[in-house]
Structure 1
Amino acid sequence: MMFEDVKRRLRGSIAPVITPFNEDESIDFKTMSDLINWQIESGSHGISVTGTSGEPSSLTVKEREQVMENAAKTINGRVPFAPGTGSVNHQETLHLTKVAQELGADAAMVIVPYYNRPSQHALYKHFKAVADSVDIPIIIYNIPGRTAVNLDVKTYARLVEDCPNIIGSKEANKDFEHVNRVLLNCGRDFLLYSGIELLCYPMLTIGGAGSISATANVAPVQVAEMHNAWEEGNYERALELHYDLMPLNDILFADTNPAPVKAALGMMGKIKPVLRKPMDLPTQQLQNEIREVLKKYVDLPDHQPAR
């Protein structure tokens, strides 16, 4: 089975859109559609939902289905769609990945199961079962800082060899040696996306396909432009944007994602800055710092930061 068309299109800045909530913590689907439209208008090359930035562990399975359906309808084929369908629960992962396929998603992003720390052998069996259950491409999401286990390069290589629809990986891994070896062992056509903001530019230099960066929620134009500049061969401009975005990247990860991102979007007037417990907005002091940094990137409405 060939996935060359998807591999050609699923590149650049794939924005991992947050899940906006109302004051009562119900999902604000209208605002979600507005955010997705803004992302596309701002030049983002693709859309993902219910990844880390989308607070998937705070959503029910039904809510995750509804978020994916709303996103698919809003995108309406304008850009590639790669929702997060992974879970700590294997059967939930199978179910959500099949739902993504039914909704016409271009790919499904499946996280390494978190908390229970499966062995490499167990991870192989998990991902192979997921890949075998659908006909759409799978992007593995490796984020050891959240999952407490790292998908080894040898496991990657085994999965890619045995599962033709495993076409790429979001690597939220600060070990850049590991990232290089993923491409070496999985092939240079393997789609490697950076999930570490400060590695988005370096990942391009080794042959990466793009990024799935939380910062794109706040600065979609700049993040997309960095990828565009790289593709156009304007490496100096891409590098300039890399460094220009660094203060914003830093402040957006001064607390656990997506708390600072939601605070920032609230300051920008894009959302009601609400997270579901056990998550919460950053402290007032950090919100003030976020606002000061944010002023350098966007024009903020004249109101106080969210409390």
Structure 2
Amino acid sequence: MNNKFLGTGVALVTPFKTDLSIDHDALTKIVNFNIENGTDYLVICGTTGESVTLTKQEKQDVIATISQANNGRVPMVLGIGGNNTATVIEEIKTTDLSNMDAILSVGPYYSKPTQEGLYQHFKAISEACPVDVILYNVPGRTSKNMEPETTIRLANDFNNIVGVKEAGNNVAQYLQLLKDKPEDFLVISGDDDLALGVVLAGGAGVISVIGQAFPKDFSNMIRLGLQGKAKEAYSIHFKLMDIIGYIFEENNPAGIKAVFEALGLCQDSVRLPLVPASQQLKSKIKGFVNDFK
């Protein structure tokens, strides 16, 4: 099994200053905060990183800052996906992936391909990609679910498709994947609220949003889950349950950025069409952060 992606990966935010330029100092701080507190790997330029609002140059700058701060300490995964297969392949071919351990590629959004279309899309990506590929199924955002049969077919047919970040918020679908997957294929939770249950059922871990704000507790919870220590792990899950709900109440990543603002790690600025968390939500988040022990 590919141990690089066992445990807790975090979908890093892209911190912005008030003028909405990238705050590279805050990004460095967040990377160090995570690595020093037990995060196992970093996911760069995913949806939580507001990658769709970053220019090509900004993406390169974000990758450079994170790579420098990480300095080879933990594996790195780069988000490269979209609904134009040819464009995704072009991005793979023109991006320096030499220090990336994998790409995370989201299912095509908006266009709603059939299961065969999804298979052919990821087949083309696999064949073009020089590093490992982690599939990303998030039907709530793409409006099309990748059925377990399609994921398993891809897992069996392509050696460099090593795992799936499954974020359908569907327990039955997780269990189907865990039952049918090849032995060394990783089922990674993309749902913070379900992550522990998935790990206890045989999942490889999580790519988390909240984990980057509470890396010590969250990565410890997943570690205990991987060891089958359900009772100890659930005691941490219950401590974090409310904040997991809060950060997804309005939009992601406005929620997690409000947590970071409360922690003093970055501002809560987001780029349109997203807007910062409401005052009401921010006060709930601040209260949680202040009381968290």
Name the TM tier (shorter chain): over 0.9
1:65 maps to: 60
- Matched residue, 1:211: 206
Q: Deviations over 1:149-178 (max 9, x none)?
A: 011122112211221100101111111111
TM-score (norm 1): 0.90
**Residue correspondences, number:** 293
Aligned to 1:156: 151
* Aligned 8 A contact 1:263 1:273 in 2: yes
Instruction: Tell whether 2:100 aligns with 1:130.
Output: no
> Is the partner of 1:211 in helix, strand or coil?
strand
Q: Paired residue for 1:186?
A: 181
CA distance in 2, matches of 1:281, 1:93: 29
Deviations along 1:126-151, one digit per CA (max 9) or x if unpaired, are: 11111111221100011000000011
Specify the SS of the correspondent of 1:83. Answer: strand
More deviation, 235-244/42-51: 235-244
Q: Deviations over 1:206-234 (max 9, x none)?
A: 11010111101211111111022234443
Contact 2:106 2:136 in 1 (8 A): yes
Partners of 2:183 and 2:250 lie apart in 1 by 34
In structure 2, list runs of 5 or more residues that go unmatched: none
Matched residue, 1:76: 71
Matching residue of 2:140: 145
Contact 2:7–2:219, Cα closer than 8 Å, also in 1: yes
The aligned counterpart of 1:116 is 111
1:301 alignment partner in structure 2: none
User: Do structure 1's residue 175 and structure 2's residue 170 form an aligned pair?
Assistant: yes
Aligned runs of 1:199-238 on 2, under 5 Å? 199-238=194-233
Q: What CA RMSD, in Å, does the superposition of the two structures yield over aligned residues?
A: 1.7
Q: For structure 1, which segment, 181-190 or 92-101, has the greater mean C-alpha deviation from structure 2 after superposition?
A: 92-101
SS at match of 1:14: strand
Asked whether the equivalents of residues 139 and 169 of structure 1 are also in contact (C-alpha less than 8 Å), the reply is: yes
8 Å contact kept, 1:200–1:210: yes
Residue 56 of structure 1 aligns with which residue?
51
Separation of aligned partners in 2, 1:233 and 1:146 = 32
The equivalent position to 2:192 in structure 1, one of 190, 197, 208, is 197
User: Using a 3 Å threshold, how does the CA distance of structure 1 residues 8 and 253 change in structure 2: closer, same or farther?
Assistant: same
Amino acid at match of 2:164: S
The residue type paired with residue 51 of structure 2 is P
Distance (whole Å) between structure 2 residues aligned to residue 290 and residue 8 of structure 1: 34
* Aligned residue in 1 for 2:82: 87
Mark the CA change 1:137 to 1:100 in structure 2 (over 3 Å): closer, same or farther: farther
Contact 2:187 2:203 in 1 (8 A): yes
Measure how far apart 1:100 and its partner are. Answer: 5.7
1:278 maps to 2:273: yes
Equivalent residue, structure 2, for 1:29: 24
Alpha-carbon contact 2:199-2:226 (below 8 Å) kept: no
The letter of the residue matching 1:142 is N
| Residue 289 of structure 2: aligned partner | 294
Q: Distance in 1 between matches of 2:155 and 2:96?
A: 20
- Give the letter aligned to residue 289 of structure 1: K
% identical aligned pairs: 32
Partner of 1:10: 5
**Residues 200 and 277 (structure 1 numbering): CA distance in 2 closer, same or farther, change over 3 Å?**
same
Residue in 2 aligned with 1:303? none
Please report how far the alpha carbon of residue 90 of structure 1 lies from its aligned counterpart in structure 2 after TM superposition: 2.3
- SS of corresponding position for 1:32: helix
d(CA) in 1 for partners of 2:239, 2:257: 21
Displacement of 1:9: 2.2
Question: How many angstroms does 1:294 deviate by?
Answer: 2.0
Secondary structure of the 1:47 match is: strand
Normalised to the residue count of structure 2, the TM-score between the two structures is 0.94
Q: 1:168 aligns to what SS in structure 2?
A: strand
1: CA distance, partners of 2:165 / 2:266: 26
1:256 to 242, 251, 255: 251
Quick check: 1:239 aligned with 2:262?
no
